Amino acid sequence: MSLNTVVWNVGVALGYIVACESVAAWLRLSHIPPIIWYASGVGLAALLLRGLSVLPGILVAAFICALLGEASPELALLSMAAIGLQLTFAWWLLARVLKIDVALSHVRDVVVFIAVGCTVVPLLNAAIMLLRDYLRGTAGDPVELVRSQVTAMGEAVGILLIAPFILAIAAAWRRRRSWSMHVESLVLQVANATVALVVFGGMMASSMSAESLPYAIFPLTYWAAFRLGMRDTALALLVAATIAVGCHSLGVGPFVMAHSTPANAFAHYASLYLFLIVLSSTSLLAAATQQEREAAEAGVRESEQRYRTLIERMNEGVNITDAQARMTYVSDRFCAIVGYPREELLGQTGAMLTVPEQHGAWEESHRKRRAGLSESHSLTMRRKDGSLLHVWISPRPQFGPDGAYAGSLNVVLDITDRRLAEDRARAHLDQLAHVARVASMGEMASAIAHEVNQPLTAIANYASASLRLMQDNRMSPAEAMAVMKQLADEAERAGEVVRKMRGFVRGEDGHPVHIAVVDLFADVLRLSGPEARAHDVVLEANAGTGSLAVTADVIQLQQVLLNLVRNAIEAIASSSAVVRQVTLTAMLADNGMVEMRVTDSGPGIPADDLDRVFTPFHTTKSDGVGIGLALSRSIVEAYGGRVWASAPSAGAVVHLTIPAA
Amino acid sequence: MPASDAIVYVIDDEAPIRDSLAMLLRSVGLASMLFPDAPRFLAAAPWRDHACVIADVRMPGMSGLELQDEMRKRGVALPIIIVTGHGDIGMAVRAMKNGAADFIEKPFNGQVLLDAVHRALAHAAAPPASAAVATEGDREDLERRIASLSPREREVMALVAEGLPNKSVATRLDLSTRTVEVHRAKVMEKMGARSLAELVRMNIAAG
């Protein structure tokens, strides 16, 4: 047996004896039967709190109390056994069978405690007393019968008052209270004691109705129940009941009546008991109800806090929008992703964050949400500091009870880094194809120069040598003829190079196939994407009806478009344009041609240069050869198309036509 | 034309170039030996004191630059004239820094090539001592000419002598191409350089 258990047993025993003897002392003073009995309540509460380990203390205390009550040792042992049996049975029912929470934190616990705890012990007690009367041969004696009934009810009320008080104190032992709560508690308890004294101490004028007066105590115990909790409620009840019973036993108070007959005597006590039971049980239930609600509210708060923490700690940003797509909630993370403070975001729509070129995409996604579609999509935004931001948005549309669109909960993931990483990874593959294709124009210029240089060098050498030899008459006609033959061969070779080149740009080397413009644009977007992003340029394509198609060599046509797109991106990159966009569009033009346009928001083309940009070796770029657009034109013209430039009010447009398939 | 014991080794993968060069050399009385590639030239090892090499910078098998390295490794001190095509100026400048006697751009003027060959042969024939004296005199002359350049002209010369085209020089110095052309002409005039190769050589000599 641990020291802790010993201490508890001694404490419980002392508590039991004090509860028992204080009532006994009062009874000796007033010479009336015990009309309220706290000892059983103390014992039951101790058992509920500490289990059977405190039973020895209770038994010892019960034995001592019986001896102090002038019983013989045999009778005291019997009394001790009876009390031990009653309490253990009640404890077993409550704690083991019905499994109540000893903190009485739920309404069920209070109901079970009142229904079982306050009835089992008194009923057993009454049964034992009846058995004793029967054994003593005093059964059926009216005085003893009333005595048994009154004792049982006194015990029930005692348990109802003292046990919840002890349990509430134990449950609230470590709970801290604010100063104002302490003051309120003190005010309440003083007011309660005062009202109890006034009501039950017979201090009111007799003109007040005796029946309704006791109800004055209800507001106070309910005040305790709703404002201060189980502990103050139990204390207020204990104090009020003790005062009521004390005064009653002294013959004062609203429940006092003549008790000459046994029936009257029972009524004399029963009406007070009934009042106290109603007062206690309703007040305790009220306190439990309030406690339960507070716990539920705390639970809701806690869970809300938990979800809030979860949302705020998520890598994804979260926002909630109303039916008009205005943001009504934004998480800290969302604010961090877009770089705007919360107050600048609330009440605004996502359009404010989206780059102008993507407003269409943003509106489309809003439409889809209204239709209840929770399709995830990417969007290009701009942070407050102006930097580009790529996000992946997963919306969850919300609908009101009437089925109307109420808004959307959107999870927003910053994929800028991921997009850049993907770009870099893909760049290794794409760049090869990209550079190879775009650079091939410049490469070709170099190759042509080399190919033509070789015969020209030989021709120059032959001519120079012949001049010298002929001047000195050192060359025979046969020798001269051989040299002339060489010169003709070399000139022929140079011509062959030029012919080959023209053959290439005419598309003679190409393999014309059926090309869907949608696919062509998709390839160009994919190949030029990394370069566009590298220069902060938004690249978009609109292939018109989607059924547009041309007949040409895929590689050559890609080369032409890549070259035009690259020029457009470079034009923007070399400028400080705010709107940075290159758009590919296609439409069916007259005379069976498909017209494609490469529109850029760059500095545009000076009117004088509009006709010259397609001239070979005309370039404005420091590292350009000036052959890209010229070759593009050759290729397009080889297919019977046309290419020209125009300069609208802002930016530049290059148009090209290719016969439709 | 005085017959000479000098010989010129021509290495080029294109037969018309080899043949026409041989005829050009013969027209001034110079003997030549022709090789279609560098390995065959190295294998023949026809070393003679009074000789020089004309090699194309781009050849299958072994480039002009690699040939240069290989000859140095074997202790063959023949002057090499590097012939370049379009866009190979950077390689030619590397060859010059590596000790090539000269470089010539295709297509070339016959006279320019012959001048380069004569210079190389003279250098090959000259005794080391007199060459050193000549270099000393040249050096003072060179320093005087460089001192006459404006700071901007010196910048232009440094970049041009690296083999950069005018357009790139313009970008680097944030000038227009036209301005660079003017500066370049001025540099050539002040330095007394008749070709880019000479300017590169001067730039190397000046350190």
- CA angle (A82 as vertex; A78, A86 as ends), nearest 5: 170
Using a CB-CB distance cutoff of 8 angstroms, which residues of chain B are in contact with residue A490?
16
Mean pLDDT (chain B) is 83
pLDDT of A189 reads: 93
Banded model confidence at residue A60, pLDDT cuts 50, 70, 90? very high
Lowest mean pLDDT among A33-47, A501-515, B48-62: A501-515
Between residues A555 and A185, the one the model is more confident about: A185
Compute the average pLDDT of residues A440-466. Answer: 77
pLDDT of B2 reads: 45
* B8 min Cα distance to partner chain A (Å): 15
Judged by CB atoms closer than 8 Å, whether chains meet at A457 and B108 is answered as yes
Quick one: what percent of chain B has pLDDT higher than 70?
90
pLDDT value at B19 more than 50: yes
pLDDT of A259 reads: 53
Task: Kindly report the pTM of this predicted structure.
Answer: 0.46
Judged by CB atoms closer than 8 Å, whether chains meet at B107 and A465 is answered as no
Structure tokens belonging to residue A392:
């992946």
Helices marked H in A137-217: 142-171, 179-200
- Strand pairing category for B7-11 and B31-35: parallel
ipTM: 0.75
pLDDT value at B34 more than 70: yes
Using a CB-CB distance cutoff of 8 angstroms, which residues of chain A are in contact with residue B110?
460-461, 463-465
> A640: Cβ–Cβ under 8 A, 6 or more apart, which residues?
A659
Banded model confidence at residue A340, pLDDT cuts 50, 70, 90? very high
pLDDT of A33 reads: 57
Chain B interface test: which of A466, A468, A484, A490 (most B C-beta within 10 Å)? A468
Q: Which of A222, A107, A201, A121 is nearest to A163 (CA)?
A: A121
- Strand pairing category for A581-588 and A593-600: antiparallel
Compute the average pLDDT of residues B117-134. Answer: 64
Supply the DSSP symbol for A354.
B
Using a CB-CB distance cutoff of 8 angstroms, which residues of chain A are in contact with residue B1?
472
pLDDT tens for each residue of B81-124 = 998 876 677 778 888 888 888 888 887 888 888 988 998 888 77
* β-bridge partners, A597: A585, A655
pLDDT of A501 reads: 66
Between residues A83 and A146, the one the model is more confident about: A83
Are A656 and A639 within 8 A, CB to CB? no
Using a CB-CB distance cutoff of 8 angstroms, which residues of chain B are in contact with residue A459?
20, 107
Residues 599-628 of A with CB under 8 A from B: 622-623
pLDDT tens for each residue of A575-585 = 877 888 999 99
pLDDT value at B56 more than 80: yes
CB-count exposure of residue A298 (10 Å: 0-12, 13-18, 19+): exposed
Residue of A nearest to B169 (CA): A622
pLDDT of A89 reads: 92
Between residues A491 and A433, the one the model is more confident about: A491
Judged by CB atoms closer than 8 Å, whether chains meet at A454 and B111 is answered as no
pLDDT of B127 reads: 44
Q: How many CA atoms lie within 13 A of A294 on its CB side?
A: 14
Judged by CB atoms closer than 8 Å, whether chains meet at A458 and B1 is answered as no
Chain A within 8 Å of B60 (Cβ-Cβ)?
Answer: no
> A411: Cβ–Cβ under 8 A, 6 or more apart, which residues?
A314, A316, A317, A318, A393, A394, A395, A396
pLDDT value at A440 more than 70: no
Using a CB-CB distance cutoff of 8 angstroms, which residues of chain A are in contact with residue B113?
461
Q: Which of A416, A367, A420, A415 is nearest to A395 (CA)?
A: A367
- Measure the CA–CA gap between A45 and B35, rounded to whole angstroms: 117
Banded model confidence at residue B165, pLDDT cuts 50, 70, 90? confident
Supply the DSSP symbol for A52.
G
pLDDT of B129 reads: 41
Amino acid at position B131, single letter: A
Compute the average pLDDT of residues A89-115. Answer: 88
pLDDT tens for each residue of A375-402 = 888 888 989 888 888 899 999 998 988 8
For chain A, helix, strand, coil in percent to 5 are: 65, 15, 25
pLDDT of B81 reads: 92
Phi-psi region of A605 (alpha: psi -120 to 50; beta: other; left: phi over 0): beta
pLDDT value at A205 more than 60: no
Judged by CB atoms closer than 8 Å, whether chains meet at A472 and B86 is answered as no
- Measure the CA–CA gap between A558 and A660, rounded to whole angstroms: 16
pLDDT value at B131 more than 50: no
pLDDT tens for each residue of A222-277 = 999 998 888 899 999 989 988 888 887 777 777 776 555 555 666 777 788 888 88
Structure tokens belonging to residue A24:
């006994």
Chain A within 8 Å of B23 (Cβ-Cβ)?
Answer: yes
Compute the average pLDDT of residues A631-644. Answer: 80
Banded model confidence at residue A609, pLDDT cuts 50, 70, 90? confident
Judged by CB atoms closer than 8 Å, whether chains meet at B20 and A486 is answered as yes
Chain A within 8 Å of B179 (Cβ-Cβ)?
Answer: no
Between residues A340 and A526, the one the model is more confident about: A340
Q: Which of A371, A340, A334, A357 is nearest to A542 (CA)?
A: A357
pLDDT of A504 reads: 56
Judged by CB atoms closer than 8 Å, whether chains meet at A457 and B1 is answered as no
Q: Which of A141, A129, A236, A250 is nearest to A201 (CA)?
A: A250
Banded model confidence at residue A647, pLDDT cuts 50, 70, 90? confident
Banded model confidence at residue A427, pLDDT cuts 50, 70, 90? low
Residue B16: Cβ within 10 Å count: 20
Amino acid at position A271, single letter: S
Compute the average pLDDT of residues A627-641. Answer: 76
Using a CB-CB distance cutoff of 8 angstroms, which residues of chain A are in contact with residue B17?
454, 457-458, 461
Between helix A230-249 and helix A179-200 the angle, nearest 10°, is 20
SS3 A191: helix
- Measure the CA–CA gap between A587 and A594, rounded to whole angstroms: 6
DSSP for A282-323 reads HHHHHHHHHHHHHHHHHHHHHHHHHHHHHHHHSSSEEEEEET
Tokens 């010229």 belong to which residue? Answer: A630
pLDDT of B1 reads: 42
* A571 min Cα distance to partner chain B (Å): 16
Q: Which of A547, A525, A550 is nearest to A538 (CA)?
A: A525
pLDDT of A193 reads: 92
Are A560 and A507 within 8 A, CB to CB? no
Banded model confidence at residue A78, pLDDT cuts 50, 70, 90? confident
Chain A within 8 Å of B109 (Cβ-Cβ)?
Answer: yes
pLDDT tens for each residue of B140-153 = 888 888 889 899 99
pLDDT of B132 reads: 42
DSSP for A377-439 reads EEEEEE-TTS-EEEEEEEEEEEE-TTS-EEEEEEEEEE-HHHHHHHHHHHHHHHHHHHHHHHH
Compute the average pLDDT of residues A327-345. Answer: 91
* β-bridge partners, B7: B31, B51
Residue of B nearest to A621 (CA): B167
pLDDT of B204 reads: 80
Are A247 and A196 within 8 A, CB to CB? no
CA B106, B109, B112, B114 torsion-angle sign: positive
Are A66 and A75 within 8 A, CB to CB? yes
Chain A within 8 Å of B135 (Cβ-Cβ)?
Answer: no
> A296: Cβ–Cβ under 8 A, 6 or more apart, which residues?
none
pLDDT tens for each residue of A14-25 = 999 998 888 888
CA A466, A468, A470, A473 torsion-angle sign: negative
Chain B within 8 Å of A464 (Cβ-Cβ)?
Answer: yes
Compute the average pLDDT of residues A404-410. Answer: 90
- CA angle (A471 as vertex; A466, A472 as ends), nearest 5: 105
Are B105 and B196 within 8 A, CB to CB? yes
Lowest mean pLDDT among A45-59, A565-579, B105-119, B121-135: B121-135
pLDDT of A210 reads: 57
Are A491 and A452 within 8 A, CB to CB? no
Chain A within 8 Å of B17 (Cβ-Cβ)?
Answer: yes
Compute the average pLDDT of residues A496-502. Answer: 72
Chain B interface test: which of A444, A451, A456, A461 (most B C-beta within 10 Å)? A461
pLDDT of B32 reads: 93
Mean pLDDT (chain A) is 82
Q: Which of A50, A135, A55 is nearest to A89 (CA)?
A: A55
pLDDT of B135 reads: 62
Using a CB-CB distance cutoff of 8 angstroms, which residues of chain B are in contact with residue A463?
110
pLDDT of A584 reads: 93
As a residue count, chain B comes to 207
Between residues A289 and B96, the one the model is more confident about: A289
Chain B within 8 Å of A450 (Cβ-Cβ)?
Answer: yes
Compute the average pLDDT of residues A507-526. Answer: 79
pLDDT of A184 reads: 92
